Structure formats: C-alpha cells, structure tokens
C-alpha cells in the first residue's frame, strides 16, 4: 500500500470531548470520526484494525467449532415480546416502527432471533451440540455513551450462541468458548484477566467476563494472587465482605421512619459509607407483632452499578434488630418479590409490594427511599449530589485490597478493567420462553440448553490503546496493527536509489503477505515520523541516500528509543 493511494488524516489536537487517552489518540490518528453521540464513522485506518480483530475472532471461533451466520440488525418486536425483554429492557433498547406501524428492535444482542432459528432448525438430539455466531452491528441507547468506541451506542459485537441437549454438555460448550476467548485475547497481545461475573438479568448458571487491565476501565475486579479467584467486584461473591464489615449485630441505629427517613439515615442504618448507597434503592419492610410494635425491620438494598440500567441491578437484604445484618440470596429475594432481583421495580413486580408505581428501576435518577408501604416512602431523594461519580469510586463495594479472598486462600488485590468479552451459561432461560425444544432418543421434546458469548469488537480498539501507547501515540500489538511495517523513504521523489530500494522492500514484504505501508507523500521526515508514531505502526524502516551509500537502512521498533542500522539486503528477512 502506498500512502498517496490511501487516506491518512491526522490531527495535532484531540477534540475537547475526548476524555481518555484511547479516545484522544483514535481521533488524532484519524481512526474514527464522530457522527453523533456514541456513533462513529470507522475511517479507513481504523477499519483495518477492526478487520484484523474480526479476523482473529473468526479464526478462533471457527477453530472452536462455531458456525458463522448473519442475523438482521432490524428484528421484529414479537420475538422480544415472547421473552418479555420488550418490556424489561427499558430505554436502552432502540425501537422503531415501519410504515405499517409495526414495532421493531434495532438489535442490542440476538438471543431471541437465534432461539427462533434454533426452534425451527434443531429438531433432533442428533443435530446437537451446535454453536452459531455472527459479527454484527449492535445498537444500545446507552445512558452515557462515552470514551469513543469504548462505550458507543452503535458498535460491533461478535455474539455466539450454543445449543446443547443438557446442562453437562452445555458446560462443555461454555468451556470451549472460554478457552477460545483466552486464545483470542492472547493473540491480540492484550493483558487481560478472566473473572467470574454476575449473570444479571440475562440469568443463567455461570458467567465470566474477560477484562483488559487498564486504569481507565469502568469495571473493578478483585483477584487473589495466591489462588485462581478472580471476580468482577459487583459479583455477589464479594458481597459477604460488606455484610461482614457491617456485621456487628446490634440494634438498628434508626428505623426508616415514614416521613422522616433520608438517605443519610439509611447509610447510617446500614453502616455503609454514603458513597456505597449512592446508587442503591432501599426499601424497608417492618414486621409487627400483634400489639403493633415493630419487631423486625428488613431493609432491601438494591445495589446498582455505575450506569444503573435495569439489567445491572443487584439485590441484597439486610435484616435488622435481632439478627444482625446479612445479604439475602437471590433466591430469597425472588421468593419475596416474586421476580428476579434484576427485575425489581414496577415493571417486573409480580406480587404487589407497595413500591412507588411511577418509577422504574431503570430510571433511577429519582431515587426511592423509606418504608415499603403506600405513601410511606420518598421519591426524588437526594443521594448526595456532592459525591464523586460512582464509577470513579474504586471500591464501590467496600472491598479493599488486602481483604481475605472468599476462597480463604489468600488476600484480594483490586484492579480496574475494560470488559471486552463475556461468556454466559444461559441454561433454558430463552428456550423455555420461546418453547425451543429438540426430540431426545425416545422422541420426547426437551428444552435446548443454551450459552451466549459476546466480544466487543470495536471496544477492543480502545482497550488495546489504553494498554499500548506513549506520549507520541498508539503502539499497536503486531497482530492488530493497521499496517505492520511502514517504509519511510527520505527523498522518494528525488533519489532514484531511494525510490528503487523502498519500492523493492515494499514489494517483497507485500508479496510475503505482510501489511506494509510505503509513505510516498513527500512529507518532511519529522512530520512523516510523527504521523506513523501517532498511528502506531509497530515497525519502521527509514531509507535514505546517506544510509544506502553504506548499504544500510534504519530500523526502529515503535517501542525502541533509537534506530538501529541494518544491512539493506537483510531487512526483509529481519521483518519477515
């Protein structure tokens, strides 16, 4: 590839809305161009990286036995109504109507559509297991799109879905995907950690996130050096620590009083710093004896993660008075409220608990606080305007480095991470709702057991840059660099020798299948080098008359502090 035939557009300054280094560098290097909030054009240089990322994912998915197909971006609402997600998803789900006033969804994920395919196509146990995947555009109307491709509204995801005859076989499919993900992120040259994750509103039996380690990550992860324990800090496994810390069994300092309770009271009551309750919805239920005295107050604490969308809600229960504090299990909450904790709130409530009816958990900028009785609660509670943004509070769960790990084998360390992949063992969550069955050996219909597996293709660009950059720009890992080698000739248009040597090396490398760029734009050396350092090409060869006189060219790796002379006739072998 010659630079004059390509499109290169670099900027000295990043636009002011770019907050983190990867976003700034992607804008400056001309990889993306903003079209609207969370919506980007992928420019030619950026698209090359996306294609490399996709290529690695495809190779490893195919190697792992997954089969590629392509499902539509626009999906009929009926399927989403079958699983109930049409109602549950809230405003993150983009809905559109066609000319006949029919409802559609711009897909944020594809469980419904793939399950619809599976219930028609996978009829017999003989066809199982199967794993289908696609690499497709997604749209999620994120509450707070930011950091460029890191949290876009439109983005590209690889999503795969496995179908098995039983849980045991589904576990094997899950493990196969887990292993494939490890290979994928290793091949991309990323430093990452697989952590146990919450199954959230998607539900299911097991879940792991693949987190690229970076200080700017929106997630916090805890891990133990002495064992293989690693978890997203949101995961309930970390919760007992908070319960323990809040544990001194003592009478409640205060009972949330109708008409009086404030978030400070609740924080005091729970003995948690206010910063931890800032994104929580707290309801209290009083149990009274026959004399009408309160004998027990149960505080239902719904911890909500940073972007507090409906599907990110966690639940816990803290009992006061005689029992001290503890968190309820998800099952207990389910039993009490008649629905999954993630679905708590007016939309999902099946039993009439008296919560305010005009607020959804998804819209929690107005918080609810107080007793769980009609008119005995507040809405619009000020949960501490002066508090730092919750996603900047490192230990939002009160887990601190040095705490004992839940497996008792060591102590916890904390890191920040960027979620680039997520694997879920779904079980029959979707096949049940959509009646997706196969016939077993005895001809009896059985529910398909599913798993789903996502990778944020475009988010990977941001994550890779967060990990690989310096003050001059991006440093791409070889495997996903837009070009692996750039040839910078000094005087390409003036010196026949330089031109011949540069063209020859270019052709040799190109013939060998190496992505090579020859900068024939005639830029001054300083400007030319600055461009390629910003763009982050990992290997550079400078060819000049001065060097060629001694039969040399100059090689510099993107991380090297100085150039190394190489014999011109050996450079091809060196780079190959």
**Could you say which of 422, 429, 459, 506 contacts Mg ion (CB under 5 A)?**
422
> Which span (150-158, 317-325, 364-372, 417-425) binds Mg ion, by CB under 5 A?
417-425
**340 versus 422: smaller Cβ distance to Mg ion:** 422
d(CA 205, CA 171) in angstroms, rounded, equals 9
Is residue 396 within 8 A of residue 276, CB to CB? The reply is yes
* Among the listed residues 82, 63, 210, 189, the one whose alpha carbon sits nearest the alpha carbon of residue 133: 63
Tell whether residue 157 is a contact of ligand ATP (CB under 6 A).
yes
> Which span (59-67, 148-156, 509-517, 555-563) binds ligand ATP, by CB under 6 A?
148-156
Q: What are phi and psi of 413, to 5 degrees?
A: -115, 160
**213 versus 563: smaller Cβ distance to Mg ion:** 213
| Beta carbon of residue 92, minimum distance to ligand ATP (angstroms, whole number) | 9
d(CA 5, CA 25) in angstroms, rounded, equals 23
Binding partner at 473 among Mg ion, ligand ATP, none, C-beta below 5 to 8 Å by kind: none
| Beta carbon of residue 347, minimum distance to Mg ion (angstroms, whole number) | 18
d(CA 568, CA 576) in angstroms, rounded, equals 14
| Beta carbon of residue 454, minimum distance to ligand ATP (angstroms, whole number) | 3
> Which span (262-270, 332-340, 348-356, 413-421) binds Mg ion, by CB under 5 A?
413-421
Calculate the CA 230 to chain-centre distance: 16
| Beta carbon of residue 415, minimum distance to Mg ion (angstroms, whole number) | 16
**378 versus 424: smaller Cβ distance to Mg ion:** 424
| Beta carbon of residue 419, minimum distance to Mg ion (angstroms, whole number) | 5
Tell whether residue 454 is a contact of ligand ATP (CB under 6 A).
yes
| Beta carbon of residue 421, minimum distance to ligand ATP (angstroms, whole number) | 5
* Among the listed residues 318, 282, 270, the one whose alpha carbon sits nearest the alpha carbon of residue 298: 318
Binding to Mg ion, residues 352-391 (CB under 5 A): none
Q: What are phi and psi of 79, to 5 degrees?
A: -65, -40
**150 versus 509: smaller Cβ distance to ligand ATP:** 150
Tokens describing residue 55: 């290529």
Name the one residue in this structure whose structure tokens are 């190394």: 564
- DSSP states of 472-528: TEE---GGG-S-SEEEEETTTTT-HHHHHHHHHHHHHHHHTT--EEE--S---HHHH
Tell whether residue 142 is a contact of ligand ATP (CB under 6 A).
yes
| Beta carbon of residue 155, minimum distance to ligand ATP (angstroms, whole number) | 4
CA torsion 506-511-515-521 (nearest 10°) is 30
Q: What is the per-residue binding string for ligand ATP in 163-202, x denoting contact by CB under 6 A?
A: ----------------------------------------
- Three-state SS across 177-236? HHHHHHHHHHHCCCCEEEEECCCHHHCCCEEEEEEEECCCCCEEEEEECCCCCEEECCCH
Binding partner at 142 among Mg ion, ligand ATP, none, C-beta below 5 to 8 Å by kind: ligand ATP
Q: What is the per-residue binding string for Mg ion in 181-220, x denoting contact by CB under 5 A?
A: ----------------------------------------
DSSP state of 259: T
- CA distances to 92, 206, 274, 276 from 251, in Å: 41, 37, 20, 21
Binding to ligand ATP, residues 330-359 (CB under 6 A): none
**157 versus 436: smaller Cβ distance to ligand ATP:** 157
**Could you say which of 155, 343, 378, 483 contacts ligand ATP (CB under 6 A)?**
155
| Beta carbon of residue 206, minimum distance to ligand ATP (angstroms, whole number) | 14
Binding partner at 459 among ligand ATP, Mg ion, none, C-beta below 5 to 8 Å by kind: ligand ATP
Q: How many residues bind Mg ion (CB under 5 A)?
A: 2
**151 versus 340: smaller Cβ distance to ligand ATP:** 151
Binding to ligand ATP, residues 98-127 (CB under 6 A): 109
E strand or H helix at 138: strand 130-139
Binding to ligand ATP, residues 381-440 (CB under 6 A): 419-422
Tell whether residue 88 is a contact of Mg ion (CB under 5 A).
no
> Which span (147-155, 342-350, 470-478, 563-571) binds ligand ATP, by CB under 6 A?
147-155
Tell whether residue 220 is a contact of ligand ATP (CB under 6 A).
no
d(CA 469, CA 476) in angstroms, rounded, equals 8
- CA distances to 164, 177, 212, 303, 342 from 199, in Å: 19, 17, 19, 15, 10
Helix (H, G, I), strand (E, B) or coil at 80: helix
CA angle in degrees (0–180, nearest 5) for 178-184-189: 130
Name the one residue in this structure whose structure tokens are 């911890």: 303
Is residue 350 within 8 A of residue 369, CB to CB? The reply is no
Q: What is the per-residue binding string for ligand ATP in 55-94, x denoting contact by CB under 6 A?
A: ----------------------------------------
Half-sphere exposure (Cβ direction) of 363: Cα atoms closer than 13 Å: 11
* Residue at shortest CB range from ligand ATP: 456
Summarize as ranges the residues that interact with ligand ATP (CB under 6 A).
109, 140, 142, 151-152, 155, 157, 419-422, 454, 456, 458-459
């Amino acid at each position: 590839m010659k630079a004059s035939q390509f499109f290169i557009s670099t900027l000295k300054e990043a636009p002011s809305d770019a907050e983190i280094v990867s976003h700034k560098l992607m804008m400056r290097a001309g990889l993306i161009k903003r079209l609207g909030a969370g919506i980007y054009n992928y420019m030619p240089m950026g698209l090359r990286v996306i294609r490399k990322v996709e290529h690695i994912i495809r190779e490893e998915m195919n190697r792992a036995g997954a089969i590629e197909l392509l499902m539509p971006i626009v999906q009929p609402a009926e399927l989403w109504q079958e699983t109930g997600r049409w109602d549950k998803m809230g405003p993150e789900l983009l809905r559109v109507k066609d000319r006949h006033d029919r409802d559609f969804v711009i897909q944020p994920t594809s469980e419904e559509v793939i399950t619809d395919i599976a219930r028609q196509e996978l009829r017999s146990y003989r066809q199982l297991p199967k794993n289908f995947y696609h690499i497709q555009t997604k749209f999620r109307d994120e509450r707070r799109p930011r950091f460029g491709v890191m949290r876009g509204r439109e983005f590209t995801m690889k999503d795969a879905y496995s179908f098995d005859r039983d849980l045991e076989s589904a576990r094997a499919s899950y493990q196969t995907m887990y292993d494939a993900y490890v290979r994928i992120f290793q091949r991309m040259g990323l430093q990452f950690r697989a952590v146990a994750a919450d199954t959230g509103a998607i539900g299911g039996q097991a879940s792991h996130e693949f987190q690229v380690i970076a200080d700017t990550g929106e997630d916090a992860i805890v891990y133990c050096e002495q064992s293989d324990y690693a978890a997203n800090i949101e995961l309930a496994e970390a919760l007992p620590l908070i319960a323990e810390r809040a544990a001194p069994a003592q009478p409640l300092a205060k009972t949330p009083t109708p008409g009086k309770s404030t978030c400070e009271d609740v924080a005091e009551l729970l003995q948690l710093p206010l910063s931890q309750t800032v994104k929580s919805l707290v309801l209290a239920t009083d149990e009274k004896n026959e004399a009408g005295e309160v004998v027990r107050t149960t505080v239902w604490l719904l911890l909500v993660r940073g972007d507090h969308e409906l599907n990110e809600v966690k639940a816990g229960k803290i009992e006061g008075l005689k029992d001290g504090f503890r968190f309820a299990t998800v099952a207990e909450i389910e039993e009490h409220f008649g629905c999954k904790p993630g679905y708590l709130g007016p939309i999902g409530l099946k039993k009439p608990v008296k919560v305010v009816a005009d607020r959804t958990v998804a819209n929690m900028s107005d918080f609810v606080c107080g007793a769980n009785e009609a008119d005995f609660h507040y809405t619009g509670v000020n949960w501490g305007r002066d508090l730092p943004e919750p996603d900047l509070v490192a230990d939002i769960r009160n887990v601190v480095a040095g705490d004992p790990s839940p497996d008792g084998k060591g102590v916890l360390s904390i890191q920040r991470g960027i979620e680039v992949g997520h694997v879920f063992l779904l079980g029959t969550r979707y096949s049940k709702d959509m009646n997706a069955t196969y016939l077993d050996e005895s001809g009896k219909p059985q529910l398909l057991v599913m798993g789903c597996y996502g990778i944020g293709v475009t988010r990977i660009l941001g994550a890779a840059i967060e990990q690989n950059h310096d003050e001059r720009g991006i440093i791409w890992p070889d495997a996903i660099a837009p070009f692996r080698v750039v040839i910078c000739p000094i005087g390409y248009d003036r010196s026949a020798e330089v031109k011949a040597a540069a063209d020859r090396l270019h052709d040799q490398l190109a013939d060998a299948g190496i992505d090579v760029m020859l900068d024939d734009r005639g830029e001054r050396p300083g400007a030319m080098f600055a461009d390629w350092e910003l763009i982050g090409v990992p290997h550079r060869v400078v060819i000049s008359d001065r060097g060629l006189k001694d039969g040399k060219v100059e090689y510099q790796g993107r991380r090297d502090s100085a150039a190394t002379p190489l014999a011109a006739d050996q450079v091809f072998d060196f780079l190959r």
